[in-house]
Chains A and B, each alone.
Chain A
């Protein structure tokens, strides 16, 4: 056989084999951006038992922020801007929004004490003293331990976490701040949301390993939308937290679940958004997976009848 024929057959063989190859064609990347909250979203007036009142702007009033990527956001679906929904098959049951992905800023984690169930979100407290004083001094609803005794310092919360979870450092508990900005000081600038000095608070987010989708005809990409679950007025609880799920502590006389976010938050946000929450009134529409300076503002106060 001639060298030419050999080469031709080899080429055909290589082409045939490459024809069996499978290219997924997935456009996956870590998509980053910023969420902005107006100061009003973390401002609340408290009326104390001594008759006094104070209006506070405090990052501890920021609940978990949920971000989702949706085909689009529409007006008129709900009483606030809301993702487009799929078909409704049952009266009274909202349609699924079919998100492409999402994330949260601040997590509902195990708070180590039953009295803190569904009341603590990560990235909001500088340290455990800030957590203890928030409930004792501002909310006037002190934290109690498993014996029903009032918790009077933050170290007691941390020690309880160490004992239950067998941790040895506060970083492992992942509820309080670490030196995120690496200035050797742990303070308010190390929380998720940081005061921008212009009446807004901002936090960075990352949608890890997110696949990008767009309309093949128009080139319009998916839309980033989200909301902040503000703590309830009276109990300071987050209604996106399922108190029947999560880590279960049943040591000694403790017997409770930590609580965790409901599983369908991004699919059915309207089930959980209540008056007082802040919704994205200006969602971000992606033009490409490489968009830079992606910012959405949760500037729409939800009013739900």
Chain B
């Protein structure tokens, strides 16, 4: 066959292949931790003097699906007749690295960048279980239904009851490493609700994302009770055996103390940089040589 014929055949093959594209190869391969997890039926905890927040936390881990399909965690619960709070905190903490020198030490924000390679992002959705389109434990879905108007046009309606406020109104989600919460204001007793926590991103270092989760009666504002959001659930950084990653809790406590004005995180990060080889060991702060706002 002459060259021109080969070119035509190659073009034909290429064009046919281009029509069958999933993009799966762009995503991480499957991990030991499952990409889609269903926790089953949970009962909202009553957080009061007898049950603390720490006791109410459910810890878990999810991994990569190995495809372009999103992964995540689902669970169902029965309405209580009152408000129910859902709170999820992915590992670990996140702060914005300053990109310009600050006016003075009093205004300096974070002297060290966050280690972004161990953070993941979970997005929270919830609503009536009957509207959920996913297959729990198999495939993530959403709370979107279709309404057909009199002209026969399908209109998608999102019935996600988990409304999170952002800068531009409701419908927001927190970013990487940051917790999310929402209150289902008036759940109907006996009615089944579904919570879908979509894994928007998993950590770049191992694609395994641990998390802490609370399902509790009452309003999330009451559970938070003035505590910084990141500090409601502690100890969510877990290894494959479910054990807390050494020092992660210390790091979180230091972070929370810093938020309260203790200015302790700089010392922690400097000590970490001096003590560990962060190219080998798991460091929670970022590279101290790669920050524009080093404090004197």
**Which residues does A use to contact B, with CB under 8 Å?**
1, 5-6, 9-10, 12-13, 16-17, 19-20, 71-72, 84, 86-87, 89, 98, 213-217, 220-222
Contacts and interface: CB of A to CB of B under 8 A. Distances in A.
B5 A20 contact: no
Nearest to A16: B15
Contacts of B2: 1, 6
Contact of A86 (B1, B8, B157, B159): B157
Contact of A10 (B8, B18, B151, B155): B8
B151 A5 contact: no
Given A86-B147, A213-B153, A216-B152, A13 B5 contact: no
A84 B19 contact: no
Contacts, number: 58
Nearest to B10: A13
A10 B147 CA distance: 45
6 contacts: A13-B15, A16-B16, A84-B149, A98-B147, A98-B155, A222-B151
Interface in B144-187: 147, 149-153, 155, 157, 159
B59 to A, nearest CB: 35
A20 B4 contact: no
Contacts of A98: 147, 149, 155
A214 B151 contact: yes
Contacts of B147: 86-87, 98
A1 B5 contact: yes
Q: Most chain-A CB neighbours within 10 Å: which of B2, B150, B157?
A: B150
B12 interface: yes
10 closest A-B pairs (Cβ-Cβ)? A71-B149, A9-B8, A13-B12, A1-B5, A71-B150, A215-B151, A71-B151, A16-B15, A17-B15, A72-B150
B5 A6 contact: yes
A220 B16 CA distance: 39
B151 A86 contact: no
> SS class of chain A's interface: helix, strand, loop or mixed?
loop
B11 interface: yes
Contact of B153 (A13, A17, A71): A71
B12 A9 contact: yes
Contacts of B42: none
A27 to B, nearest CB: 13
B19 A9 contact: no
Contacts of B159: 89
A98 B159 CA distance: 16
B58 interface: no
B295 interface: no
A84 B152 contact: no
A98 B155 CA distance: 8
A215 B9 CA distance: 43
A5 B18 CA distance: 24
Contacts of A12: 12
A84 B150 contact: yes
Nearest to A216: B152
Contact of B151 (A6, A16, A220): A220
Given A1-B2, A71-B150, 10 more contacts: A1-B4, A6-B2, A9-B9, A13-B12, A16-B12, A16-B16, A86-B149, A87-B157, A214-B151, A216-B152
A20 B12 CA distance: 11
A13 B150 contact: no
A247 to B, nearest CB: 18
Nearest to A85: B149
